[in-house]
Structure 1
Amino acid sequence: MSSTFLVALGSNRRHHLYGLPRDVVHAAMEELSALGTVTARSPVISSAPMGAARRRFANAAALIESEYDPESMLAGLKWLESEFGRRGSRRWGDRVLDLDIVLWSGGVWRSRALTIPHQSFRERGFVLTPASAIAPDWRDPVSGQNVRQLKARLTRKATLPR
């Protein structure tokens, strides 16, 4: 049985073959086809670093139709990260490639290794902006809001006076 995954992509380090982070993200979007059929790719955006990271990120999102279950998809994404040269890095540090499962057509998934929906995606414009370009009507199974509504809520929150 086929499932759809919304995957977030990010990079803020050059790659020896692909070059700048934006080009790394474009290359990774093509390589996702090793895990299933990529049915949509968002534009690549630029975002500010978080946590320990020092460089700006290139971010995007992709929809993948796959026969994989969530844990197998996670293993495939980790394999792809390592193929791009990612090694163990500190949380929110600089990285060649970061791939995260944000949403899954099966709804909620919880295991020791993986939680779907991604725990922080509702507060991350660098995830919601690309996701809203390719899956604006996809509903978050936890909040009941769709990606477009979550993005609008986050945008309003960011513009409120403090």
Structure 2
Amino acid sequence: MSPATPHPMIARAATTYAIALGSNRRGRHGAPEREIAAALEALGDVVARSPTVASAPLGPSNRRYANAVALIETAEDPAALLVRLKRIERTFGRRPGRRWGSRVLDLDIVLWSGGAWSSSGLTVPHAAFRTRGFVLGPLAALVPKWRDPLTHRTIRQLAQMVDRRHPRD
């Protein structure tokens, strides 16, 4: 065993991730709310979850979304977790297509307890989460004091900023 290889009996510490879930198309589990519930089961490692909320679509889609946020704990690094999330999306019927189009399931890594991460194809924190009330509201209900590693604002502060810019009807 090389010095860089950890001893097989030593487990890597679990890392906490905030995962945004979205669906606006029926799938094999039924309505979008049922797709979210099934996706939470498929994720595993869920330590907390928000209620599912409805939101207006972004971009060209005309279907309302069901959204939720889950906190998971895993020893996976962000790149490995992304591979797993993409595999789950595919098993739910997600196919490559138009950006912001209708989809059975969308899973995004929003934050992780390791701070910031950047690699080819993945940036954490999620580039747009600070402007999305449908992510910030549910996230603030779970971890209001978690700080964005880039702005150093709490999730509660970010959610309040979005609420002021986009008051609910």
Note whether the superposition's TM-score is higher than 0.5. Answer: yes
Q: How many residues align?
A: 155
> What is the CA RMSD across the aligned residues, in angstroms?
0.8
Measure the CA separation in 2 of the matches of 1:23 and 1:77: 18
- Give the residue type in structure 2 aligned to 1:9: L
- Match of 1:141, SS state, is coil
Alpha-carbon displacement from aligned partner over 1:41-80 (angstroms, at most 9, x marks no partner): 1000000011021100000000010010000000000000
The yes-or-no answer on 1:2 pairing with 2:10 is: no
* CA displacement at 1:26 relative to structure 2: 1.0
> Aligned partners of 2:48, 2:103: CA distance in 1, in Å?
24
Identical pairs, percent: 54
Q: State which of 61, 70, 81 in structure 1 corresponds to 2:69.
A: 61
Amino acid at match of 1:121: F
* Structure 1 counterpart SS, 2:54: strand
Aligned partners of 1:47 and 1:57 also within 8 Å? yes
Deviation at 1:3, TM superposition (A): 0.7
Q: Structure 2 CA distance, aligned partners of 1:89 and 1:63?
A: 27
Mapped pair 1:97 → 2:109: no
Structure 2 residue runs without a partner (length 5+): 1-12
Give the letter for the 1:81 counterpart. Answer: E
Amino acid aligned to 1:31:
A
Q: Identify the match of residue 32 of structure 1 among 30, 39, 43.
A: 43
**Whose radius of gyration is greater, 1 or 2?**
2
Query: Are the counterparts in 2 of residues 38 and 63 from structure 1 also a CA contact under 8 Å?
Result: yes
Post-superposition Cα deviations, 1:24-47, rounded to whole Å, max 9, x if no partner, equal: 1111111110xxx21001000000
Aligned counterpart, 2:5: none
Give the Cα–Cα distance (whole angstroms) in 2 for the partners of residues 85 and 158 of structure 1: 32
Distance in 1 (CA, whole Å) between partners of 2:84 and 2:102 is 21
State the secondary structure of the residue aligned to 2:130. helix
Which has a greater percent of helix?
1
1:110: which partner in 2? 118
Task: Supply the AA of the counterpart residue of 1:114.
Answer: L
Specify which of 134, 140, 144 is matched with residue 148 of structure 2: 140
Q: Distance in 2 between matches of 1:127 and 1:20?
A: 20
Counterpart secondary structure, 1:153: helix
- Stretches of structure 1 that go unaligned for 5 or more consecutive residues are none
SS of 1:15 mapped into structure 2: coil
Query: Does residue 128 in structure 1 map to residue 103 in structure 2?
Result: no
1-side partners of 2:65 and 2:93: how far apart? 17
Q: What's the TM-score, normalizing by structure 2?
A: 0.90
- Counterparts of 1:46 and 1:157 in 2: how far apart (Å)? 19
Query: Does the CA-based 8 Å contact 1:22-1:58 persist in structure 2?
Result: yes
